[in-house]
Amino acid sequence: MIGVFDSGSGGLTILSELIATLPERDFLYFGDHARAPYGTRPAEEVYACTEEAVAFLLERGCRLVLIACNTAAAVALRRLQQGWLRDHAPAARVLGVHVPLVEAITGRRWGDVSQHHGGGRERRVAVFATPRTVASHAFRTEIGLRAPETTVVEIACPGLAEAIEAGGDETTLQPLVTEYVRTLANHPNAAAGFDFAALACTHYPFAAGAFRHALPSATALLMQPALVARALADYLRRHPAQDDPGNGHVRLLTSGDPDHLDGLLGRLAPDLRRFERISGA
Q: Give 86-112 pLDDT, tens digit per residue.
A: 999 999 999 999 999 999 999 998 888
Burial of 237 (0-12, 13-18, 19+ CB in 10 A): exposed
Neighbours of 208 (CB within 10 A): 14
Domain borders along the chain are 2-97+225-277, 100-224
Query: Which among 10, 72, 24 is positioned nearest to 224, based on CA atoms?
Result: 10
Neighbours of 111 (CB within 10 A): 8
**Dihedral, CA atoms, 201, 207, 209, 215, nearest 10 degrees?**
-60
For residues 11 and 165, what is the distance between their CA atoms, to the nearest angstrom?
Answer: 11
Give the pLDDT of residue 139.
97
Query: Which among 208, 201, 229 is positioned nearest to 20, based on CA atoms?
Result: 229
Q: How far is CA 143 from CA 85, 139, 157, 193, 260, in A?
A: 24, 6, 20, 18, 39
> For residue 80, which amino acid is it?
L
For residues 256 and 251, what is the distance between their CA atoms, to the nearest angstrom?
Answer: 15
Q: Give 147-199 pLDDT, tens digit per residue.
A: 999 999 999 999 999 999 889 988 999 999 999 999 999 999 998 899 999 99
Helices (H), the chain: 12-21, 43-59, 70-79, 85-88, 98-106, 131-136, 138-146, 160-165, 170-185, 208-214, 224-238
For 112-124, what is the mean pLDDT? 69
Neighbours of 247 (CB within 10 A): 8
Quick check: 71 and 40 in contact, CB under 8 A? no
Decide whether 2-97+225-277 matches 100-224 in CATH topology: yes
Quick check: 97 and 73 in contact, CB under 8 A? yes
Give the pLDDT of residue 264.
76
Among the listed residues 49, 62, 69, 157, the single catalytic one is 69
Radius of gyration of the chain (CA): 18
For residues 257 and 281, what is the distance between their CA atoms, to the nearest angstrom?
Answer: 9
For residues 50 and 43, what is the distance between their CA atoms, to the nearest angstrom?
Answer: 10
Q: Determine whether 69 is an active site residue.
A: yes
**What is the value of pTM for the model shown?**
0.93
Task: Provide the CATH topology of domain 2-97+225-277.
Answer: Rossmann fold (3.40.50)
Q: Give 198-247 pLDDT, tens digit per residue.
A: 999 999 999 999 999 999 999 999 999 999 999 999 999 999 988 988 99
For residues 202 and 13, what is the distance between their CA atoms, to the nearest angstrom?
Answer: 6
Residue by residue, DSSP assigns 168-229 as: --HHHHHHHHHHHHHHHHTSTT-TT--SEEEE-STTGGGGHHHHHHHS-TTSEEE-HHHHHH
pLDDT over threshold 90, residue 120: no
- The CATH number for 100-224, chosen from 3.10.350.10, 3.40.50.1860, 1.10.3720.10, 3.60.20.10, is 3.40.50.1860
